[in-house]
Amino acid sequence: MKTATLNKSDIGKCIDLLLQSDLRVIAPRLIPRLDEDGTDSIDVLTFTEVDSGDDHQVGEGLLPLNGVKEFLFAKHEPLFAYEKRGKKIEIIPVHHEYPQTVIIGVRPCDAASIASLESVFSDANAGFEDPFFTERRSRTTFVTYSCTAPDASCFCTSVNLAPDSAKGSDLHLTELGDGRLHVEVLTEAGEAVANKLETLLEGEGDQAAREKAGATVHEKLTRLRNSAPIMDWLMDTANFDDEMWERLGEKCIGCGACTFVCPTCHCFDIVDENKGSKGYRIKFWDSCQFDHFTLHASGHNPRDWQFKRYRNRFNCKFKIYPEKFETPGCVGCGRCIRACPVNLDITEYMAEVAHKAANPNAMKADPDFE
Amino acid sequence: MTITKVINEAPGIKTFHLNFQDEEVAKNFSFETGQFGEYSAFGAGESTFCIASSPTRPDHIECCFRETGKNTAALANLTEGDTIGFRGPYGNTFPIDDWKGKNLIFIGGGIALPPLRSVIWNCLDLREQDGRFEHISIVYGAKSVADLVYKREIEEWNQMDNVTMVKTVDPGGETEDWDGHVGFVPHVLENDVKPDPENTIAIVCGPPIMIKFTFEALERLGFSQDQMVTTMENRMKCGIGKCGRCNIGSTYVCIDGPVFTATELAALPNDF
């Protein structure tokens, strides 16, 4: 593996070099958003397209609000257009732009989620490909950045990841503590980017210092360290009817915020947007937390209570993804915890399941859990 | 596809005969019984219905639907010659090759006859060709006499010497000249039809509650779970395993189903 060092202060120059190569560059930036009263604005760290190396927050702050999902799996996009002509319908293809893109400043949790989305949308899943996703994926390079200051909601180490993990990365950057970054070139796409930055990269990296920097941050993350029993417990179908689901899930109000900020949530809806005799068939993000998501035409709803919808989400993360797609369903970014309006914390479920898995009869014997 | 025929089956329920507009597509299209498609009235969306016709009768495909939401209402407004969108076929199929030499009993409720009708005609036509199935029975019920779909075909099956046709309506749904049973399908099945489980496969389709009670009745009659087959009707959007809507645990009804044996269903979490 090729390594090098880069001055952190040169990241803006890196962005300019990439822009000069006609690449679309996406980086974390501070974007003003209106506050709740609509009177004042607050700056929110958000992944957005940049047009100059002067305006970026790569390596600053923690996680952008949005993650990188929307740049591969669009929030909404037309599948095709149609026009009614008498009794006939003409299907009109919609032109989509898939620019060659570099996303820089991606945190390890977000980078690890790419493989998960790919396992759903690629043709490896039942032989059907989502070409919108795969076209974008094949034209996107991820320049990742090790975390230095995880917050209280972070739990990547609970899901077999690490704050300095390079999983899913093409080119990985780690702060060495002296103003320099250790650069790891991990893929051909990463090498293509490194070649464009040649004038800014120096010599070889400092592997020992990089390992040390990573380990220091790792120690700050003290939540549940062994999540392996969670999947084993979920695999036992009898536990699907455990009392825990209703007790912990009662709090959920079904707003769906967790699913929209989640880097691995992939559910979508398909609707027609029609005006007169023309329209588009549109695919857009949906959420398994909404009550009509699984509602049958007959009125029957398999997930008729909110706790059942939350149970599905938890199972999707820790059983369905690993079992069906063999990729992680949760990358420990903590966005669902930060976004939840009722402070529902997925790690509380994880801890309880891990506890139940380790003590199969403990909860049943405890009258407090009746 | 072009709607080549519209049949009013029951209040709010219609059958469409459909033919592809593109000859190449028509030539290359094939499906097996049990599979489904996404049908759309452009401007209103897409709905998931089974292909209600048999692959042994390939000059057109059929769907049968009840008007319940936006898209089905828009579909119901279309007439012969109009165009509808179709994607498919998707999903797995009824394992009819495994049923050779067996008796078959089809048990359906309400709007759930269309998926069974595809496999019923498929099995009747194949038996006509080479006698590969033994006795065929059909038990079908609806809320009321008016709600029965495929009324003419029920009569046609009734007239066949080598088919036992049992029809029933829910209590209160009968008319003065009703010559069928009165009672819920699982009850009529267990107390009046009493099928012999020996060398028999039961194919069940209906609302989830009807499937549950019918399976229980069949088990009391001595059927094993491997002898019971059903088709699930979970809500779907994409039909191709991506949109995350029809799953029961890690099983996606659109990809792994819609056809399941009772053995397979029993292994799934209680989420359907």
As for the ipTM of the complex, it is 0.92
d(CA B69, CA B174) in angstroms, rounded, equals: 28
A60-111: pLDDT as tens digits: 999 999 999 999 999 999 999 999 999 999 999 999 999 999 999 999 999 9
Please check whether residues B104 and B31 belong to one and the same domain. Answer: no
Residue B55 in any domain: the answer is yes
Instruction: Give the pLDDT mean for A291-313.
Output: 95
Q: At what angle do helices A108-121 and A131-138 cross, to 10 degrees?
A: 140
Of A62, A61, A1, A64, residue with least CA distance to A27: A64
Please check whether residues B35 and B103 belong to one and the same domain. Answer: no
Q: Which residue of B has its CA nearest to A290?
A: B245
Confidence category of residue A365, pLDDT binned at 50, 70, 90: very low
In A232-334, at which residue ranges do the beta strands (DSSP E only) sit? 268-275, 278-285
Phi, psi angles (nearest 5°) of residue B134? -85, -130
Residue B257 in any domain: the answer is no
User: Which stretches within chain A are classed as H helix?
Assistant: 11-20, 108-121, 131-138, 188-196, 207-218, 228-235, 243-249, 257-261, 306-315, 335-339, 346-358, 362-365
d(CA B155, CA B160) in angstroms, rounded, equals: 9
Residues of chain A that touch chain B, judged by Cβ-Cβ distance less than 8 Å? 82, 84, 87-89, 120-121, 125-126, 128, 130, 237, 240-241, 266-272, 274, 279, 281, 286, 288, 293-298, 300, 302-303, 308, 312, 315-316, 319-320, 323-324
Number of structural domains in chain B: 2
Supply the CATH number for residue B106's domain: 3.40.50.80
Instruction: Give the pLDDT mean for A172-185.
Output: 95
Is the model's pLDDT at A269 over the cut of 70?
Answer: yes
Residue B236 in any domain: the answer is no
Residue B238 in any domain: the answer is no
Domain range for B141 is 96-231
d(CA A166, CA B135) in angstroms, rounded, equals: 63
Please check whether residues B79 and B112 belong to one and the same domain. Answer: no
Of A121, A274, A319, the CB nearest to B43: A274
Final residue in a domain of this structure, among B90, B125, B160: B90
Confidence category of residue A40, pLDDT binned at 50, 70, 90: confident
pLDDT means over runs of 10, chain B (272 residues)? 96 96 96 98 96 96 96 97 97 97 96 94 96 96 95 95 95 95 96 96 94 96 97 94 95 96 95 88
Please check whether residues B100 and B227 belong to one and the same domain. Answer: yes
d(CA A215, CA B216) in angstroms, rounded, equals: 58
Please check whether residues B226 and B115 belong to one and the same domain. Answer: yes
Residue B191 in any domain: the answer is yes
Please check whether residues B85 and B102 belong to one and the same domain. Answer: no
Please check whether residues B80 and B172 belong to one and the same domain. Answer: no
Residue B40 in any domain: the answer is yes
Please check whether residues B132 and B73 belong to one and the same domain. Answer: no
DSSP lists the bridge partners of residue B205 as: B108
Is the model's pLDDT at A366 over the cut of 80?
Answer: no
Phi, psi angles (nearest 5°) of residue A171? -140, 120
> Is B72 close to A297, i.e. CB distance below 8 A?
yes
Please check whether residues B119 and B182 belong to one and the same domain. Answer: yes
In chain B, at which residue ranges do the beta strands (DSSP E only) sit? 2-10, 13-19, 36-41, 45-50, 61-66, 85-90, 103-109, 136-142, 163-169, 181-182, 200-205, 228-231, 247-248, 251-252, 259-261
d(CA B168, CA B174) in angstroms, rounded, equals: 9
d(CA A150, CA A158) in angstroms, rounded, equals: 13
> Is B235 close to A126, i.e. CB distance below 8 A?
no
What pLDDT score was predicted for residue A7? 96
Supply the CATH number for residue B9's domain: 2.40.30.10
Residue B270 in any domain: the answer is no
Instruction: Give the pLDDT mean for A3-12.
Output: 96
Residue B175 in any domain: the answer is yes
pTM of the model: 0.93
> Is B66 close to A297, i.e. CB distance below 8 A?
yes
